[in-house]
Amino acid sequence: MSKTLWINVTRTNQDDVTFSVPTDEACSLLVSMERAGIDTHYHCRNGFCGACRTRLCAGTVEYTTDPLAFVRPGDILPCVCIATSDLDLEH
Ligand code: FES
């Protein structure tokens, strides 16, 4: 049964955005962020380049593909992960 997760994104020099995603949504967190109207940075969309790197302040994600780009502790690559809890992100 699908649940709803809440994603809050704090953005530099812009208003915060909060949106919801169903747990059974099949798309990446990056796509969910784009659908919520967030101007995302990306290049490969496959975990190679690191361009979509985003700060994870709270919550948990699951990688659908192992990222090949370097990911610092506390960062995530939204192009290859999905939310597994409510999230607080800095983008
Ligand atoms: S867009 Fe390249 S790692 Fe996410």
* pLDDT of residue 1 exceeding 80: no
Give residue 15 CA to ligand 1 midpoint distance, Å. 24
Q: Which of 28, 33, 3 has the alpha carbon at shortest distance from 18?
A: 33
Which pLDDT belongs to residue 59? 98
pTM of the predicted model as reported, rounded to 2 decimal places: 0.93
Domain 4-90 has CATH 3.10.20.30: yes
- Which is more confidently placed, 61 or 1? 61
At 24, phi and psi to the nearest 5? -95, 10
Q: Which residues line ligand 1 (CB under 6 A)?
A: 42-45, 47-52, 69, 77, 79
Within 8 A by CB and 6+ apart from 37, the residues are 17
Which pLDDT belongs to residue 26? 83
Give residue 76 CA to ligand 1 midpoint distance, Å. 10
Express each pLDDT in 23-70 by its tens digit. Answer: 888 899 999 999 999 999 999 999 999 999 999 999 999 999 999 999
Which pLDDT belongs to residue 19? 94
